[in-house]
């Protein structure tokens, strides 16, 4: 019932910018948060950023000050503005959505197919 489709990835030189989008559809009205994961070759998938239903945002330390997560509730679209990109940001980026479970916002429902971001020096 929930579908997530990422877009906006591509190749960019270090110091450049990209804006990722995640279009959500289906039954998402009761979601408690959405976010972005990424996975670089040979590394574990990590949570990059998240935004809760009340607008609270969080970021992993490596992207603080450079990335900004936002959500357009009217269009059910999640964004990740990425500035001052570094080569270490190269990864496949995935959108994810969470729902409440047992009083906690921790039930990962789905993530999309991913969009590749390649940053060159």
Q: What is the pLDDT of residue 109?
A: 77
Report the sign of the C-alpha dihedral through residues 50, 90, 120, 88, in that order.
positive
Tokens encoding 114: 């991913």
Q: What is the pLDDT of residue 85?
A: 98
- Rounded to a whole number of angstroms, the CA Rg of the chain reads 14
Q: What is the pLDDT of residue 19?
A: 98
Q: Are strands 77-82 and 18-26 parallel, antiparallel or unpaired?
A: antiparallel
Q: How far apart are the first and last CA of the chain?
A: 41
CA 83 to chain centroid: 14
- How much is the average pLDDT of 11-32? 94
pLDDT confidence bin for 107, thresholds 50/70/90: confident
């Amino acid at each position: 019932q929930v579908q997530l489709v990422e877009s906006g990835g591509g190749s960019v030189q270090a110091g450049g910018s990209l804006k990722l989008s995640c279009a959500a559809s289906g039954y998402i009205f009761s979601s408690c948060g959405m976010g972005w994961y990424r996975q670089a070759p040979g590394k574990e998938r990590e949570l990059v950023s998240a935004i809760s239903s009340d607008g609270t945002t969080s970021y992993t330390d490596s992207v603080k000050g450079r990335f900004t997560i936002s959500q357009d509730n009217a269009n059910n679209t999640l964004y990740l503005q990425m500035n001052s990109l570094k080569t270490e940001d190269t990864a496949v980026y995935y959108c994810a959505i969470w729902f409440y479970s047992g009083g906690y916002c921790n039930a990962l429902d789905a993530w999309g197919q991913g969009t590749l971001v390649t940053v060159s020096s």
